[in-house]
Amino acid sequence: MKLAIAALLVGSAAAFAPTASFGVHNSALNMATEAATEKAFAKLPATVKPGVVTGQALVDLLDAAKEQGYAIPGVNIVGSNSINACMEAAAKYGGPIMVTFSKGGGQFIAGKSLNNDADQASIAGTIAGARHVHEVAKLYGVPVVLHTDHCQKAWLPWIDGLLAASEEHYAKEGFPLFSSHMLDLSEEPLEENIAICKSYLEKFAKIGILLEFELGVTGGEEDGVDNSDVDSSRLYTQPEEVYYAYEQLSQVPNGAFTCAASFGNVHGVYAPGNVDLQPIILYNSQKYIQEKIGSDDDKPMKFVFHGGSGSSVEDIQYAIGAGVIKMNIDTDTQWAFWDGVRAYEAKYRDYLQGQIGNPEGAEKPNKKYYDPRMMLRAGEETMAARLCKAAEDLKCTNVLN
C-alpha cells in the first residue's frame, strides 16, 4: 500500500488575474472572458473547458472537486502512449485528468541517448510532451491539468527551464504552457523549504501557475528520488508545519499553492502491513488551520495524495473526506501498461517469432502482428482501463455532465 499526500491550497478567486508583466493582448483577454460565460460542463464552473486547464479555471476545477467530494487521478507519463491513455480514460470515465511529467520522464521523451548534464534533455522533452497535450487534449473533450512531479533542490534548473517556456507562452497566448509544478524540498529544513517555494510562487503567480509543495517525506523510490531508508518519523507531517507553510505562502499576492503533507505515504506497492498510513493527520491539519485563520470552511486546505498505487479504497476515500482533490498514480499504471503488452505477446506469440511463417502457413507474413503500434496500443488500453478503475475509487466518474 502506498500513499503520499500533497496538500493543495488554492488562493482566492482572483488568484490568476492576468498581469501586464508578460504582455497579454487585450483581444486574448476579451476572448477568454466571453468563452468563460458559456458552460462546457454542466457540473463544473463555466471557466473550465475541454483541453488544458490553467489559472483561474484550474482553481475553479479543484474547488469543484473539493465541494463535490472527489479526487482527480494524477498520472505519471513517459511518452505519447501513456499521455493518450490518460486522456482516453478520462473521456471514458467522464472526469478530469492530471498528466504528470517527471524529470526522468521528460528526459525519456527527448531521448535517453541525449546529454542531460544541464537538464537540457529533461527540459526539452517535458516541453515537447506538454505541447503534444495542448494540441490534442481538446479532442478528448475533457479538462486536462498539465503538471510536473517531484523536483528536489538540485533539480530546480529543470523547473527554471519550464518556467521560461511558460513565460514565453503566456506572453503570446495569455496562459502558461504548464498548469502547475511541484517543488519537493522536503529534505531541506522547513524554513528553507518554504522560503524557496515562496520565491518560486511569486514568479508562478504572475502567469497563473499553481505551486504544489511537500512537507514531510514520501518513502520508497520513484524516478530517481530514493527515500527508502528515511527515518520513519519524517513520514508524518505535523499540523503546525502545514500552517506555517500556509501562513508564509499566503503572503504572495495572487498565489495559488498546494502542500504535500505526508502521513506515512510510500512510493511503490508493498505487502499489507508494511505501510502505516495515518490520514487522520489531514483532518487534524484542517482543524488546526481553520482555528488559526478563523475560517468557516472546515477544509481550508486542498490536499493531494501522493503514492496512491496499491492503496485501499477505504484509505483513499477517507482521505478524500479530509479534502484530498488529487491522487498520484504511477506504479499501478506502469504495471497495467506492461500487462497489456505482456498479454499481447502471449496471445500472438506464434506470430512473433519471425517476419514470415505462423500457424496459418509457412509463407504467411507477420507484419501486422509485430508492428510496434499493436503492442503499444494494447498497453494503452489496459492502462486506460486501470485508470477508469482508479477514477471509480476516487469518486471521479461522471463529474462533468
Which one from 60, 149, 315, 393 is the annotated catalytic residue?
149
Q: Which residues contact 126 (CB under 8 A, 6 or more apart)?
A: 101, 103, 105, 106, 109, 148, 158, 162
Residue of 258, 354, 338, 384 whose CA lies nearest to 5: 258
226 is catalytic: no
Report, in angstroms and rounded to the nearest whole number, the Rg of the chain calculated over CA atoms: 21
| Residue 316 in grid coordinates | 483513499
Which residue shows C-alpha cell 460542463? Answer: 41
Angle between helices 331-347 and 372-393 (to 10 degrees): 140
Task: Tell me how far apart the alpha carbons of residues 375 and 30 are, in angstroms, rounded to a whole number.
Answer: 46
Beta strands 361-365 and 324-329, pairing class: unpaired
Please report, for residues 30, 51, 87, 137, the alpha-carbon distance to residue 91 in angstroms, rounded to integers and kept in the order given. 29, 12, 6, 10
Residue of 67, 72, 102 whose CA lies nearest to 87: 72
With 0-12 CB in 10 A as exposed, 13-18 as middle and 19+ as buried, what is 135?
Answer: exposed
Catalytic residue set: 149
